[in-house]
A and B are shown apart, each in its own frame.
Chain A
């Protein structure tokens, strides 16, 4: 690991991490909004109002009183909404550009073209045609992921990109589950499973009808479902271990015990009392935030922990 190829600038690493996060966010949001829009057709007003409320909490932290259609439109194409898909694609493009020397030509080309296409779409163009938009986004993002997997060296740059993808996956799933837990409507869990592309996987894995506790078990700790919290955390822990190799442990560069602790905990069956599940989810959420801080301190502003009095990037430039 001393070859020239292994030098990754802190900024490049951060760009790659955010590139992964924004690409994953675009794809997940497209899938979630798509599924909900489909479900709303032929559904009652209660559902619409509730979902509208939930989606705005999951994605924009603001309570929303608009109709679901309007909300979905804003979350898809409005570049002034900082959690919209369009905004995410734009950020992905900027980060890809900034890390241009670390990603493959094919991957870059795909993002560049996707950004060009998305930035030409306008709000009025998609009055009722958001499904087309979502399928384009899902397709592009999936292609991107495939190209990255098949064209990039498995070096540090790849690990940061992959880390971003996985962290975002964990982030969105946790938010979704926590929000859906609040409403206590059992039918919603089919929608949740569909929203992360796991309905069929659930049926195949469990051979049982969808129930709340069954879905939670599946989403949180099913090892063979690649998007479950446990599976995602296992991947993150592998990536972080890989990245930490060669860093000086005496300066505090080691895997925080949080991650292995949570993984070990998820190996055991879930408690059946719902109160305990909520506690678990809250705990998982705070570990997730802690890990996000850890990435920053360790990789993206690497000198903050060392003994030198170097100016931090944030102190000088912000």
Chain B
């Protein structure tokens, strides 16, 4: 039988996770290829389409430009070995711990600035630095309850950090739904592999939120705050609320009174203790931020400051996922934890230095230029793919406002086998792991969301721009025998039945 992987070839220059691992005789990837060969690509696709229809019926969607779409799930999972993941997990928790300390510091006494590890202007000029957030938290509160970092695997095959998302990262619902879908697409593999489960996430998040409730409360009321049904991630908000068994509220359901927050119920009102909010800082409280925001709860920030309610994530986290702060994360880890960073950054040019700025302007066509305060891939210019006009525009913009941008080298990040039409082809993919922090410790979702660019050669994985997703499997180890012999086993058991029947009829 010919395997659909026979014709599979990697792109020149990129690290292909299947080719490298199968050349190294990695059992897990070879087992996956073997299973796909046994199943046949057309059957795999048939199952995937069936699952997509179910997902669409259940409304597992996101919204782009007012249109609801399902998030295309590629039926081939991505496999990451347990040992490598252990290291990544340590690196992630280390990074979040350092950034948590950093946020506490800069919204407090700013010792890191006083010790001249980071220039004051980096913080003072950050658009996301938020004065209303400049107050010490209660000891039971966290600033970064949920983080979703973007990792990519570079040309050498090492997972490096591309971006920190510490505000309201989304995507975890797809991780859980994708795993459920994969169990229907490839049930054969679930029997043979020991895959680290992801379904713990909602209960971990709930536990963290409960532990951050104001201390005098014995039975805290936790709510998920969504901007409403037209938000692109509404599915996720409703999903998390249902999975945690807490009310899903909109801003108009809440009101502040005497530094406490209440929710309107059919039986007058109830005090709210913890709010897991999925609304950006800008909109959350018209008293402090945009006065024209209809999505805000007037008085919320004051209630938080007075300790009447906890919100997660805290206000003002944007300053720590500012792209220029990113360029200082190694120093931040060293300063607060006295440790060497476990996860590497991508080489980043800080444009504050005029020599660096002129170098970047000259070489803009070979670099990626990113605005420091945007998220979701907005405003990023990839030099090698940009038009002349775009390049000129971005050059003018960075000269006018060097603090507003950073430049990075273009990373030709790794590819993974992906079903495209009737073939399997390499496609670029990134990885977004999710980290839940609570006062008692941190939990990293094993794996995370692998987003894959469905266009050949494209490096844009954003779902809003035609990206798909993959289930990510952290495999602890597996019984090689079971895969190799599963078809044999079946034969054996069939012949055993035949023998038994023969015996019976003989008697």
Contact = CB atoms under 8 A, between A and B. Distances in A.
Given A109-B58, A317-B294, A310 B255 contact: yes
Contacts of B249: 9, 11
A299 B269 CA distance: 11
B58 A11 contact: no
The A interface is mostly helix, strand or loop, or mixed, namely helix
A247 B267 contact: yes
B234 interface: yes
A192 to B, nearest CB: 36
B117 to A, nearest CB: 45
B253 interface: yes
Interface string B240-266: 011001011110110101000001111
B57 interface: yes
B238 interface: yes
A101 interface: yes
A9 B59 contact: no
Interface string A306-318: 1010110100110
Interface in B256-306: 257, 263-270, 294
B268 A11 contact: no
A9 B267 contact: no
Given A11-B253, A112-B58, A113-B57, A101 B241 contact: yes
Interface string A277-318: 000000000000000000000011111001010110100110
Contacts of A105: 58
B257 A310 contact: yes
A120 B467 CA distance: 25
A128 interface: no
B229 interface: yes
Contacts of A247: 267
A302 B268 contact: yes
A116 B56 CA distance: 10
Given A4-B245, A247-B267, A112 B234 contact: no
A306 B268 contact: yes
Given A10-B253, A98-B229, A109 B59 contact: yes
A9, A97, A316 interface centre (most CB from chain B within 10 Å): A9
Given A11-B250, A310-B255, A109 B264 contact: no
B255 A311 contact: yes
Interface in A162-214: none
Contacts of B265: 7-10, 302
A11 B257 contact: no
Nearest to A311: B255
A112 B242 CA distance: 17
Nearest to B238: A100
Nearest to B243: A101
Nearest to B255: A310
Given A97-B234, A112-B59, A302-B265, A11 B252 contact: yes
A101 B265 CA distance: 14
Contact of A101 (B221, B242, B255): B242
Contacts of A300: 266
A108 interface: yes
Contact of A303 (B58, B59, B268): B268
A79 interface: no
Interface in B57-111: 57-59
A246 to B, nearest CB: 6
Given A246-B267, A303-B268, A108 B59 contact: yes
A136 interface: no
A118 interface: no
A296 B270 CA distance: 19
A141 interface: no
A9 B255 contact: no
A82 B194 CA distance: 54
A88 to B, nearest CB: 17
A9 B224 CA distance: 13
Given A101-B238, A310-B257, A94 B229 contact: yes
Contacts of B58: 105, 108-109, 112
Nearest to B249: A9
A233 B162 CA distance: 62
Nearest to B257: A310
Contacts of B267: 246-247, 302
A246 B267 CA distance: 8
A160 to B, nearest CB: 8
B242 A313 contact: no
A105 B57 CA distance: 10
B266 A10 contact: yes
A109 B57 CA distance: 6
A108 B269 CA distance: 27
A71 interface: no
A156 interface: yes
Contacts of B257: 308, 310
27 contacts: A8-B265, A9-B253, A9-B266, A10-B265, A11-B250, A11-B253, A11-B264, A13-B266, A97-B238, A98-B228, A98-B229, A98-B250, A100-B242, A101-B238, A101-B247, A108-B59, A109-B58, A116-B56, A243-B266, A246-B267, A302-B268, A303-B268, A306-B268, A311-B255, A313-B252, A316-B252, A317-B252
Given A9-B247, A13-B266, 19 more contacts: A4-B245, A7-B221, A7-B270, A10-B253, A10-B266, A11-B252, A97-B234, A100-B248, A105-B58, A108-B58, A108-B59, A112-B59, A113-B57, A246-B267, A303-B268, A308-B257, A310-B257, A311-B255, A313-B264
Closest 6 A-B residue pairs measured CB to CB?
A100-B238, A10-B264, A101-B248, A97-B229, A299-B266, A112-B59
Interface of A: 4, 7-13, 94, 97-98, 100-101, 105, 108-109, 112-113, 116, 156, 160, 243, 246-248, 299-303, 306, 308, 310-311, 313, 316-317
